[in-house]
Structure 1
Amino acid sequence: MKIVGLLLKQVLRYAVYTLVHVLIISRLVLFDAGWCFLYLGFVLFLPLGTPVVVQLLLAFGIGLTMDIFYDTGGLHAAAAVLLAFVRPAVLRLLRPRDGYDAVDAVNVHFMGPAWFLTYLGVLVLVHHLAFFLLELGSFRHFGFTLEKVGVSWAFTCVALLIVQLLFFPVRRSRQ
């Protein structure tokens, strides 16, 4: 029964991130150079004990969904899969002395703001560099691409921090 509940929760999270991103967030542009990739929260905030293969498949699924909606030919899927591939290494680098609890998800309230902002900043930067460099396809307008990466990185990080502060529990659930 616990597995079914966890699966339903992840399906609901997938639907919410997809719908909110497609219907609302995709219309927001900051300074004609920055876009918010809110759907990354689905991959970034997965439980810490999620197997790497499952993370890769989920990242591909949500990236492919975004590619279908925006006709981007695999850009979102490629960048999201790279994000999911790098995520375990970043988690290992940021591992606390006592380790992680496998059932925990990434949560600013449990991990602390310094840990969370480092985790979020590094992974969103990896995603955005991959996405915008793949979109560019060359180094012709590299300066503008770096501007888009920087503005989008800040926009996405602030949006995901707000999501964490508003919608994630302050206390651990008792099991």
Structure 2
Amino acid sequence: MISYLPRYIFNFVFFTLIQVLVLNNIQLSGYVNPYLYILFIITLPFETPGWLLLLLGFSSGMVVDIFSNTPGMHASATVFMAFLRPYVLRLFAPREEYQPGTIPTMGYYGVSWFLRYSIILVLGHHTFLFFIEVFSLTHFFSTVLRVISSSALTILLILVAQLFSQGKKQGR
């Protein structure tokens, strides 16, 4: 992981800046809010220890909270997603386990695997975030609609980001 450190620092800064400067200003009818910054946690190496995963989740969420004026909501949702990540990885682990030195991306494990993996984490993050934002079940169906629509756009953006990074690695 040490050899990848500059790459992950760049990813953290890049995804946070894109989130804060561009994506936080996109709200379609109040139902669609894309959150690309969570791709930083999704693509961390398999060998990342649990404590570091939670710390990085808290840090990335807190930075977005500071710029979004949402005290602790993104931090708690991103920590929840970081907590879920090892269980989701175990759920989708190949028979021969994950190859050492690989990371959970489309380039290493394919589109199908990456979609299943990222959809569960994105849905977990968005469900936690939007229900903690409302903090009530009175608007249950409108909150579920926000979770689904925002998750769909976030997953689309994640796939586009993965295609760009995959194209760069293969020299396209």
Name stretches of at least 5 consecutive residues in structure 2 with no aligned partner.
Answer: none
Partners of 1:49 and 1:104 within 8 A in 2: no
State the AA in 2 paired with 1:156. T
Which of 9, 17, 22 pairs up with 1:11? Answer: 9
Name stretches of at least 5 consecutive residues in structure 1 with no aligned partner.
Answer: none
Given the alignment of the two structures, is residue 107 of structure 1 paired with residue 105 of structure 2, yes or no?
yes
Given the alignment of the two structures, is residue 55 of structure 1 paired with residue 53 of structure 2, yes or no?
yes
Give the structure 2 partner of residue 85 of structure 1: 83
Deviation per residue, 1:97-132 (Å, 9 max, x gap): 111123211111221111111001111001011000
Mapped partners of 1:134, 1:104: distance in 2: 34
Q: Which runs of 4+ in 1 moved over 3 A?
A: 168-172
Q: CA deviation at 1:167?
A: 1.5
Give the structure 1 partner of residue 143 of structure 2: 145
Taking the TM superposition and a 5 Å limit, the aligned residue runs for 1:1-175 are 3=2, 5-168=3-166
Partners of 2:24 and 2:68 within 8 A in 1: no
Mapped partners of 2:100, 2:86: distance in 1: 13
Q: CA deviation at 1:171?
A: 6.1
Partners of 1:47 and 1:102 within 8 A in 2: no
Mapped partners of 1:26, 1:101: distance in 2: 36
Q: CA deviation at 1:7?
A: 2.1
Mapped partners of 1:31, 1:166: distance in 2: 28
Q: Which range moved further: 21-30 or 54-63?
A: 21-30
State the AA in 2 paired with 1:10. Y
What's the TM-score, normalizing by structure 2? 0.93
Alignment root-mean-square deviation, CA: 1.6
Mapped partners of 2:65, 2:20: distance in 1: 11
Identity across matched positions, percent: 36
Q: CA deviation at 1:48?
A: 1.2
